């Protein structure tokens, strides 16, 4: 007998037929006396629909009210699944975040979970209920509804699995598992049987939305055994866990595309100590995450400072940067919102050199210009014009992961 947390994404609960299928699957998982907690997302498209209505009423809808609005999608799915489970004779009870005391900070739209009180779940399980939880949201110290960021029903599931020390957390979605690239973008992508938390963290952070980034962070920190699989078939999915020797033998695990990026350049910044702090201090204080940064210094002691931010943050970043540019005597601000970040990720890069060089070669062959480059221990990312993002992913996937692709580069240590 095991405690299993299952999470069903938007497509998996996207219609009456799908909810019926999910209820059947939940029931099947109960075989052998397993305890099941089913975390659900809003029905496919619902969260976007709710955001769009708010945006028709106001350019910048109030964050507190927006959270009250968008959290309702998950509430609907949770109730519907519990209704169906009861209809087929299975005791079930749905819970919202305030009932489970999923406490968060007050950062509306991207709140962080502080604690979960497992008492009410345990009580409900003891009474042989299937516990259905509305994902994506929490409650702050004032009792206000908060949301945890887009895609964060994954996080609700993993955090519950961690809090309850579950034996397994299954993420049910519309693909068979984690692939070497988005299978909807790259027809040659292959499903991975296993992937390490670290690689999955990079993939998720770089655009592979199959798992929400922070959910992987929490899974790694609390050693939650994670399986990503399809709610449309019984095919075994992908295990996400700690790295082992065989994973290190893989040079590149995946290629990602993030099309939600934009690029800002402050032109002619004075090249002296303290200028970077003046520029990035106010941006950080506004809660805007800056990703890549490059600085080119020219002969006249002036520099161009270029950085990337999520496209959703571009407007606010530009407002701040225009002010900073004037204050620091820079000569101007430019921006480009049609950029994409393409990355290759793999633990093998720790021990094998040459991935970046090979990546640049492949892009050059496709005549794709690289605008920015960033590397870490297990990834190389480049910024390119968004027009070439998909082509870049396919070319890199073929080169590193396609049939007959290169292994570790020759002569690499
Ligand atoms: P859900 O609604 O179930 O949470 P998401 O749409 O958030 O599903 O995530 C699943 C989608 O992630 C897939 O349909 C696929 O297009 C996309 N995806 C991106 N990168 C990958 C990858 N490397 N492996 C699998 N799916 C990926
Ligand atoms: N419904 C939310 C979203 O669309 C959360 C989720 O699906 O995980 O972002
Ligand atoms: Mg998702």
Q: What is the pLDDT of residues 182-197, one digit of tens each?
A: 999 999 999 999 999 9
| Least confident range of 35-44, 110-119, 125-134, 237-246 | 237-246
Q: How far is the CA of 209 from the centre of ligand 1 (A)?
A: 5
Q: Is the CB of 182 under 6 A from ligand 1?
A: yes
Question: Counting beta carbons within 10 angstroms of the beta carbon of residue 251, is it exposed (0 to 12), middle (13 to 18) or buried (19 or more)?
Answer: buried
Q: Is the CB of 110 within 6 Å of ligand 1? A: no
Q: Are 342 and 386 in contact (CB under 8 A)?
A: no
Dist. CA 190 → ligand 2 center (Å) = 25
Mean pLDDT, the chain, as a whole number?
93
- Confidence grade of residue 411 (pLDDT, cut at 50, 70, 90): very low
Task: Considering only CA atoms, give the Rg of the chain.
Answer: 23
pLDDT of residue 409: 40
Which mutation among 148, 209, 240 tests ligand 1's pocket best, with the greatest number of atoms within 8 A of CB?
209
Per the CB < 8 A criterion, the answer to whether 39 and 156 are in contact is yes
Q: What ligand 2 atom has the least distance to the C-alpha of 9? A: 7
pTM of the model: 0.93
Identify the residue whose tokens are 């992508």: 189
Mean pLDDT of 106-112: 95
Where is average pLDDT lowest: 32-46, 150-164, 298-312? 298-312
Pocket test for ligand 2, best of 48, 152, 312 (most atoms within 8 A of CB): 152
CA separation for the pair 242, 292 (Å, rounded)? 28
In the 3-class helix/strand/coil scheme, how is the chain assigned residue by residue? CCEEEEEECCHHHCCHHHHHHHHHHHHHHCCCCCEEEEEECCCCCHHHHHHHHHHHHCCCCCHHHHHHHHCHHHHHHHHHHHHHHHHCCCCEEEECHHHHCEEECCCCCCCCEEEECCHHHHHHHHCCCEEEEECCEEECCCCCEEECCCCCHHHHHHHHHHHCCCCEEEEEECCCCCECCCCCCCCCCCECCEEEHHHHHHHHHCCCCCCCHHHHHHHHHCCCCEEEEECCCCCCCEEEECCCHHHHCCCCCEEEEEEEEEEEEEEEEECCCCHHHHHHHHHHHCCCCEEEEEEEECCCCEEEEEEEEEHHHHHHHHHHHHHHHHHCCCCEEEEEEEEEEEEEECHHHHCCCCHHHHHHHHHHHCCCCCCEEEEECCEEEEEEEHHHHHHHHHHHHHHHHCCCCCCCCCCCC
Pair 336, 306: CB distance under 8 Å: no
Q: Which residue has the tokens 């530009």?
A: 318
Cβ(174) – ligand 1 distance below 6 Å:
yes
Q: What is the pLDDT of residue 126?
A: 96
Give me the pLDDT at residue 410, please: 35
How much of the chain, in percent, has pLDDT values that exceed 90?
85
Mean pLDDT of all residues in 46-60: 96
């Amino acid at each position: 007998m095991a405690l299993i947390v299952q999470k069903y994404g938007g497509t998996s609960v996207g219609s009456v037929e799908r909810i019926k299928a999910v209820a059947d699957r939940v029931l099947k998982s109960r075989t052998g006396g397993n305890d099941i907690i089913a975390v659900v997302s809003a029905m496919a498209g619902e969260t976007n629909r709710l955001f769009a209505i708010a945006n028709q009423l106001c350019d910048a809808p109030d964050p507190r009210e927006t959270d009250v609005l968008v959290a309702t999608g998950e509430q609907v799915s949770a109730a519907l699944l519990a209704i169906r489970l009861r209809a087929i004779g299975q005791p079930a009870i749905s819970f919202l975040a305030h009932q489970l005391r999923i406490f968060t900070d007050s950062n509306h739209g991207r709140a962080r979970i502080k604690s979960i009180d497992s008492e009410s779940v345990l009580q409900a399980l003891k009474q042989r209920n299937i516990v259905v939880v509305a994902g994506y949201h929490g409650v702050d110290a004032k009792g206000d509804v908060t949301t945890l960021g887009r895609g964060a029903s994954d996080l609700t599931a993993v955090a519950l699995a961690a809090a309850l020390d579950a034996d397994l957390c299954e993420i049910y979605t519309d693909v068979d598992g984690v692939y070497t690239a988005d299978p909807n973008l790259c027809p040659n992508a292959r499903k991975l049987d296993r992937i390490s938390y670290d690689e999955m963290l990079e993939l998720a952070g770089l655009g592979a939305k199959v798992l929400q980034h922070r959910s992987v962070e929490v899974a790694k920190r609390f050693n939650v055994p994670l399986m990503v699989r399809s709610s449309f078939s019984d095919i075994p999915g992908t295990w996400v866990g700690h790295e082992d020797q065989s994973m290190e033998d893989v040079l590149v695990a995946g290629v990602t595309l993030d099309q939600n990026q934009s690029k800002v350049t402050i032109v002619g910044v004075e090249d002296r100590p303290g200028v970077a702090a003046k520029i990035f201090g106010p941006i950080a204080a506004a809660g805007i995450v800056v990703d890549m940064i490059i600085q080119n210094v020219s002969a006249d002691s002036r520099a161009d400072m270029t950085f990337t931010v999520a496209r959703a943050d571009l407007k606010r970043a530009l407002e701040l940067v225009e002010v900073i540019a004037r204050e620091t005597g820079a000569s101007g601000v430019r921006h480009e919102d049609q950029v994409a970040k393409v990355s290759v990720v793999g633990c093998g890069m720790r021990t094998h050199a040459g991935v970046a060089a090979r990546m640049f070669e492949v892009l050059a062959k496709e005549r794709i210009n690289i605008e920015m480059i960033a590397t870490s221990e297990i990834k190389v990312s480049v910024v390119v014009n968004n027009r070439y993002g998909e082509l870049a992913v396919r070319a890199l996937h073929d080169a590193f992961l396609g049939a007959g692709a290169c292994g570790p580069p020759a002569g690499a240590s």
